[in-house]
Amino acid sequence: MPIYEFVCRGCETAFEELVRADTRVECPSCGSAEVRKLLSSFSAVGGARPDGCPDPGGCEPDACRGGGACMIN
């Protein structure tokens, strides 16, 4: 079940909600169903390469371990 971020159009409270296809989202503060879904960024864990570089395509071999030009640092 995905978590979405919303903001209430009535009281402007921002909140997160676990949402299924049939879920009616209501503001936890005022109970209004007039809410707007916010665009949120995606987060993932474990995106670094095995050599420790956080950018899978931006560094020379061994760059993030001090052996070359790292594009991130």
pTM over 0.85? The answer is no
Per-residue pLDDT, 43: 60
Asked whether residue 19 is assigned to any structural domain, the reply reads yes
Asked whether residue 49 is assigned to any structural domain, the reply reads no
Angstrom distance (rounded) from CA 52 to CA 2: 30
Q: Domain range holding 16?
A: 3-37
Cβ count within 10 A of residue 35: 20
Asked whether residue 14 is assigned to any structural domain, the reply reads yes
Angstrom distance (rounded) from CA 12 to CA 14: 6
- Total number of domains constituting the chain: 1
Give pLDDT tens digits for 27-66: 999 999 999 999 876 666 555 555 556 555 656 655 555 5
Asked whether residue 53 is assigned to any structural domain, the reply reads no
